[in-house]
C-alpha cells in the first residue's frame, strides 16, 4: 500500500532532493558525482513487501523477508531496512561483515553464496545463521560441521528448477546449465535429493532463486511451484514435516522505463498464491530475498556536466558518471538502459526541446556512455545529469576503473514544505584513500624481490 501511496510524489521528492543537493554542495565542482537515496521510498517499499505477503499468507505464518545485500551494500541501508523489519541475505565474508556491522541478528541472516569456504561455513554455523548449501560437496562439509558441534543454524539446499532463461542471460539463474544449486531435472537428481534429506534430519529448508531482472513473473512462480512440490515429496517420504521453511529467493523485476513501481510485490505475492496455494496455507515458514525491487526506484545518481561539446554533429555532455558507477549500463546498454533527467546549474529541472545527445562518463574509453543519442533538453557545462532508478546495483557498487573515486551516498527525506534533510550513507572516497588502497604504503614494494 505504502509504495503506491508514495509513488505519485516520487518525482517531486527527487526534484526537491536534487535541488537541495546542489544548494548544499553535496554535488558540485568539488564533488562532481553523488548518489541520493530516498529514505521515504525505501521505507514504503519495505512496508509494501511485508503487507503483500501478509495479505496472502495464513495468519501466523512465519515470514522472514531478507534484503540481498549485494544490491546495495551499505551499512546504513541495512540498518534502515532492519528497522523496517527486513533481514539480510549475504553471499560473501564482506557482506556478512556488513550485516554484522548493521547489527542484524543471526536469526534474520541467510548465507547463500555458491563458493562458501569451510571457514565461512564454520563461522555461519557458530553464529546460528541460516545456510543454503549449493551442492553435494558443500553438503559433505556441512555433514562434518554438524557432527562436530551443535548448531542453531537452519540448513537447507538450493535447487535449480531449470525453468529456463529470461531476457538477460547473465541474470538467469534457473537455466538447464546454471552454475547455481542442484539441477533438479538432471538425471537422478530428484531421487538423490529426497535421499539426502531423509539421511539428514537436520536439513529443514529448501531454497530457490529462479529469477532476476528480465525473468517473467510467471516463470519465477513456476520455479517456486517446482520447489514446493519437491518439499511436499520429501515431507511425504519422511512421514513428517521435515522441511518446515521454503526460501523462495528474490528476483522481482523493476520497471526502468517510468516512475511507476511495477510489477509490485503485491502482484507477485498474489500470483504465487494462485500458482502455489499450498505455500501460504500455514504449514511452511517463508523466507524471501528481494534486492533490486526494494531499492532500485529509490536511488538517483547525480553528476555535474563538466563540458558540453559536439562531435560529428552529435552533442555530447561529458559528465562525471560513467562506467565506475553504472558499470552494467555502460558495458551492456541494450540490457540496462537508464532514464536520464536533466537539471540546470541550480538543480532545477531543465525544460526546452528534446535534443538527441550522448551523456558520457569520465572514463578513458570511447564506450563510456550513460546514454547514447538520447533525447533530453540540451545539457550545458555546469548542468547536472541524473541517472534514475539507480538505487540497486549501481552507485553503491563501485568499479575502480581509472582510479575514479567512489562517490558519496546520501539518504534524504523531503518535507512537505520543500525542505530536504540529508544523512550520509557513505562518505566520498578521497584520493589519499585511493593511493593507500593501491599499495601506496608499501614503500619497498616490488623492488625487494
Ligand atoms: C542476487 C540474489 C538475490 C536478489 O536478487 P534481486 O534480483 O536483486 O531481487 C536473491 N537471492 C540470491 C540467492 C541472489 O543471488
3.40.50.20, 3.20.20.70, 1.25.40.10, 3.20.20.10: which CATH number matches 39-295?
A: 3.20.20.10
> Cα separation of 366 and 370, whole Å?
12
d(CA 38, CA 301): 12
Nearest CA to ligand 1 atom 5: 251
CB 173 within 8 A of CB 197: no
What confidence tens digit (pLDDT) does each residue in 391-409 have?
999 999 999 999 999 999 9
Contacts of 290 (CB under 8 A, 6+ apart): 49, 65, 67, 68, 250, 251, 252, 265
What is the atom index within ligand 1 of the atom nearest the CA of 112?
13
User: What's the CA-to-centroid distance between 92 and ligand 1, angstroms?
Assistant: 13
Nearest atom (ligand 1) to Cα of 289: 10
Range(s) of the chain covered by CATH 3.20.20.10: 39-295
Q: How far is the CA of 210 from the centre of ligand 1 (A)?
A: 9
Q: Probe ligand 1: pick from 49, 89, 178, max atoms within 8 Å of CB?
A: 89
Contact 299, 394 (CB under 8 A): yes
Compute φ and ψ for 83, nearest 5 degrees. Answer: -65, -25
DSSP 308: E
Higher pLDDT, 216 or 324: 324
Question: pTM of the full predicted structure?
Answer: 0.96
The grid coordinates listed for 235 are 515431507
Centre of ligand 1 from the C-alpha of residue 265, in Å: 15
SS3 sequence of 327-375: HHHHHCCCCCCCCEEEECCCCCECCCCEEEEEEECCCCCCCCEEEEEEE
Average pLDDT, the chain: 95
Pocket of ligand 1 (CB under 6 A): 68, 70-71, 89, 112, 209, 212, 249-252, 289-293
Residue-wise pLDDT tens digits, 8-38 = 489 999 999 999 999 999 999 999 999 999 9
What is the radius of gyration, based on Cα positions, of the chain? 23
**309-343: burial string, b at 16+ Cβ within 10 Å, e else:** eeeeeebbbbbbbbbbbbbbbbeebeebebbbbbb
How large is the angle between the packed helices 93-101 and 118-127, nearest 10 degrees?
A: 30
Confidence of residue 6 (pLDDT cuts 50, 70, 90): very low
Beta-bridge mates of residue 412 = 38, 422
pLDDT digits (tens, 9 = 90+) for 39-95: 999 999 999 999 999 999 999 999 999 999 999 999 999 999 999 999 999 999 999
Pick the CATH number of 10-38+296-437 from 3.90.1150.10, 2.60.40.1220, 2.60.40.10, 2.40.37.10: 2.40.37.10
Query: Which of 67, 70, 77, 389 to mutate to test ligand 1, by most ligand atoms within 8 A of the CB atom?
Result: 70
Residue ranges of the chain assigned to CATH 2.40.37.10:
10-38+296-437
> What pLDDT sits at residue 389?
98
Burial label for 236, CB within 10 Å (0-12, 13-18, 19+), is exposed
Burial of 5 (0-12, 13-18, 19+ CB in 10 A): exposed
* Greatest CA separation for the chain: 73
Mean local confidence (pLDDT), 229-238? 98
Amino acid at each position: 500500500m505504502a509504495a503506491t501511496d508514495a509513488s505519485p510524489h516520487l518525482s517531486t521528492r527527487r526534484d526537491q532532493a536534487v535541488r537541495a543537493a546542489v544548494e548544499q554542495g553535496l554535488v558540485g565542482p568539488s564533488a562532481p558525482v553523488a548518489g541520493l537515496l530516498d529514505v521515504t521510498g525505501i521505507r514504503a517499499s519495505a512496508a509494501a513487501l511485508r503487507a503483500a505477503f501478509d495479505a496472502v499468507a495464513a495468519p501466523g505464518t512465519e515470514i522472514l523477508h531478507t534484503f540481498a545485500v549485494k544490491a546495495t551494500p551499505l551499512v546504513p541501508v541495512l540498518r534502515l531496512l532492519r528497522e523496517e523489519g527486513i533481514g539480510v541475505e549475504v553471499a560473501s565474508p564482506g557482506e556478512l561483515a556488513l550485516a554484522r556491522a548493521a547489527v542484524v541478528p543471526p536469526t534474520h541472516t541467510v548465507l547463500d553464496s555458491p563458493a562458501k569456504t569451510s571457514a565461512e561455513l564454520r563461522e555461519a554455523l557458530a553464529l546460528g545463521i541460516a545456510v543454503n548449501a549449493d551442492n553435494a560437496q558443500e553438503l559433505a562439509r556441512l555433514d562434518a560441521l554438524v557432527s562436530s558441534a551443535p548448531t542453531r543454524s537452519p540448513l537447507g539446499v538450493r535447487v535449480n528448477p531449470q525453468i529456463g532463461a529470461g531476457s538477460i542471460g547473465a541474470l538467469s539463474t534457473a537455466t538447464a546449465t546454471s552454475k547455481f544449486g542442484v539441477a533438479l531435472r538432471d538425471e537422478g537428481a530428484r531421487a538423490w535429493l529426497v535421499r539426502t534429506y531423509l539421511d539428514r534430519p537436520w536439513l529443514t529448508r529448501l531454497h530457490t532463486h529462479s529469477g532476476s531482472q528480465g525473468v517473467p513473473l510467471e516463470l519465477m512462480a513456476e520455479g517456486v511451484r517446482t520447489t514446493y512440490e519437491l518439499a511436499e515429496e520429501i515431507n511425504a517420504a519422511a512421514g513428517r514435516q521435515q522441511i518446515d521453511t521454503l526460501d523462495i529467493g528474490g528476483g522481482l523485476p523493476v520497471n526502468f522505463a517510468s516512475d511507476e513501481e511495477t510489477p509490485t510485490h503485491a502482484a507477485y505475492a498474489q500470483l504465487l498464491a494462485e500458482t502455489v496455494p499450498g505455500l501460504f496455507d500455514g504449514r511452511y515458514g517463508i523466507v524471501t530475498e528481494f534486492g533490486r525491487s526494494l531499492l532500485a526506484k529509490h536511488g538517483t545518481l547525480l553528476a555535474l556536466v563538466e563540458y558540453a561539446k559536439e562531435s560529428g554533429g552529435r552533442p555530447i555532455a561529458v559528465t562525471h558518471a560513467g562506467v565506475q558507477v553504472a558499470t552494467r549500463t555502460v558495458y551492456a546498454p541494450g540490457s540496462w538502459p537508464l532514464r536520464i533527467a536533466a537539471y540546470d546549474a541550480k538543480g532545477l529541472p531543465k525544460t526546452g526541446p528534446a535534443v538527441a545527445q550522448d551523456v558520457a562518463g569520465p572514463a578513458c574509453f570511447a564506450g563510456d556512455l550513460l546514454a547514447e543519442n538520447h533525447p533530453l533538453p540540451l545539457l550545458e557545462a555546469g548542468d547536472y545529469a541524473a541517472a534514475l532508478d539507480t538505487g540497486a546495483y549501481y552507485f553503491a557498487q563501485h568499479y575502480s576503473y581509472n582510479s575514479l573515486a567512489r562517490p558519496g551516498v546520501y539518504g534524504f527525506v523531503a518535507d512537505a514544505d520543500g525542505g530536504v534533510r540529508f544523512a550520509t550513507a557513505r562518505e566520498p572516497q578521497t584520493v589519499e584513500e585511493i593511493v593507500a588502497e593501491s599499495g601506496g604504503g608499501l614503500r619497498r614494494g616490488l623492488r625487494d624481490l
